[in-house]
């Protein structure tokens, strides 16, 4: 495959990103690889994002601009996929950036390895542009085929060996046919953790994954106003919906090991859902009731019982005991202590 002939569609959902949009688009158009199309999808912005996008579009014929009425990044990404004409697709958040050499390097990797998915690395900056040091034991670079590719999937579902695979869609370039031929879409009713649901299916159906994680091409901007830092209404309901869908998918694929890994990941998201409830400052009177609803969920009880205390602590640390003991008071005390330490 001639890398110069590989067209990559970059899908950029936008919502009130007037402050960062020009920086983002500038990082995409000013690069060493030209065979690109940049699909901007405005998601009902209330600031000057759309007008600015119209101005930017006129400056480069590779830029296309659409409006998505349905709210949420999933709907915006799905609309972008409908209009994408590239052989491969990439997703970039509108307040983030990509290094100038990223797609040139990716195109050469496509030419050499013909992968279904390319995964590259990232680094994080704060709202002021300062780099944040992070130390995670992520999976090694390499071309993952057959059983190795399956191991890649399992590590993403839940890594028992500390070889983490990040489940962020913006760190991937994906063969579009893998998405469209398998009728995979982002769930538009999910406003958070939608990447994980989408990527489990994509990786499960892929044949070759090229991991170049050591190449930190993606600049992620940490935003204190992000949905992941604030209370998300109905987050627990979203999590249950995601995992019901993925458990059914694993059963359809007859993949019992994936199902076990998803069980462990479900408990991590359960703890996240409890922490989310504690962020609710408006309806404190209902927080205890909602946390108890999570703690006494049938799926939580089943998985906690099957794993056992020793394995639970081994895989999830002492957070597992919170799910075992089911003490709302203890959960609040631990979060209070964490808040004091971080204050």
pLDDT in tens, 184-210: 999 999 988 899 999 999 999 999 999
Same structural domain, 12 and 128: yes
Same structural domain, 219 and 238: no
Inform me whether the pLDDT recorded for 233 exceeds 80.
yes
CATH code, domain carrying 75: 3.90.550.10
Last residue of a domain, one of 227, 242, 257: 227
Return the bridge partners of 14, or none.
42
Inform me whether the pLDDT recorded for 168 exceeds 70.
yes
Same structural domain, 235 and 145: no
39 exposure class (CB count in 10 Å sphere: 0-12, 13-18, 19+): buried
Same structural domain, 189 and 251: no
Distances (CA, A) of 318 to 129, 288, 310, 312, 322: 34, 21, 10, 8, 7
0.85 surpassed by pTM: yes
Same structural domain, 129 and 79: yes
Last residue of a domain, one of 195, 227, 259: 227
Same structural domain, 30 and 149: yes
Average pLDDT estimate for 71-83: 96
- Measured CA to CA, the distance from residue 2 to residue 286 in angstroms comes to 59
As a residue count, the chain comes to 343
Q: Which two tokens stand for residue 281?
A: 């400052």
Same structural domain, 105 and 64: yes
Enclosing domain of residue 277: 231-342
How many folded domains does the chain comprise?
2
Same structural domain, 167 and 308: no
pLDDT in tens, 322-339: 888 887 766 665 555 444
Give φ, ψ of 160 to 5 degrees: -80, -10
Same structural domain, 219 and 305: no
List the one residue out of 272, 278, 266 whose CA is nearest residue 315: 266
- Angle, alpha carbons 87-91-97 (nearest 5°): 125
Same structural domain, 75 and 134: yes
Last residue of a domain, one of 210, 227, 244: 227
């Amino acid at each position: 495959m001639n890398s110069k002939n590989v067209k990559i569609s970059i899908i950029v959902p936008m919502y009130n990103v007037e402050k960062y949009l020009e920086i983002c688009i500038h990082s995409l158009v000013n690069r060493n690889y030209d065979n690109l199309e940049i699909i901007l999808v405005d998601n009902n912005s209330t600031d000057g994002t759309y007008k600015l996008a119209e101005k930017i579009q006129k400056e480069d014929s590779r830029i296309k601009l659409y409006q998505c009425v349905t709210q949420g990044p999933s709907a915006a990404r799905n609309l972008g996929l409908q209009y994408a004409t590239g052989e491969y697709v990439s997703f970039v958040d509108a307040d983030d950036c990509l290094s100038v050499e990223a797609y040139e390097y990716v195109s050469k990797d496509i030419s050499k390895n013909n992968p279904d998915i390319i995964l590259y690395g990232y680094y994080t900056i704060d709202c002021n542009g300062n780099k944040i040091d992070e130390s995670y034991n992520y999976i090694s670079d390499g071309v993952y085929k057959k059983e190795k590719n399956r191991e890649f999937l399992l590590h993403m579902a839940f890594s028992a060996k500390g070889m983490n695979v990040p489940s962020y869609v913006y760190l991937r370039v994906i063969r579009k046919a893998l998405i469209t031929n398998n009728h995979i879409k982002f769930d538009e009713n999910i406003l958070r953790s939608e990447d994980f649901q989408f990527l489990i299916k994509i990786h499960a159906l892929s044949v070759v994954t090229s991991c170049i994680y050591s190449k930190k091409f993606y600049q992620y901007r940490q935003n204190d106003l992000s949905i992941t830092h604030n209370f998300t209404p109905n987050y627990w309901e979203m999590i249950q919906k995601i995992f019901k869908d993925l458990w059914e998918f694993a059963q359809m694929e007859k993949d019992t090991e994936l199902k076990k890994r998803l069980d462990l990941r479900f408990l991590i998201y359960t703890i996240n859902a409890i922490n989310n409830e504690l962020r609710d400052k408006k309806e404190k009177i209902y927080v205890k009731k909602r946390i108890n609803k999570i703690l006494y969920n049938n799926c939580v009880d089943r998985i906690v019982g099957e794993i056992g205390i020793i394995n639970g602590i081994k895989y999830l640390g002492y957070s597992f005991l919170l799910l075992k003991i089911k003490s709302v008071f203890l959960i609040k005390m631990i979060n209070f202590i964490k808040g004091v330490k971080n204050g």
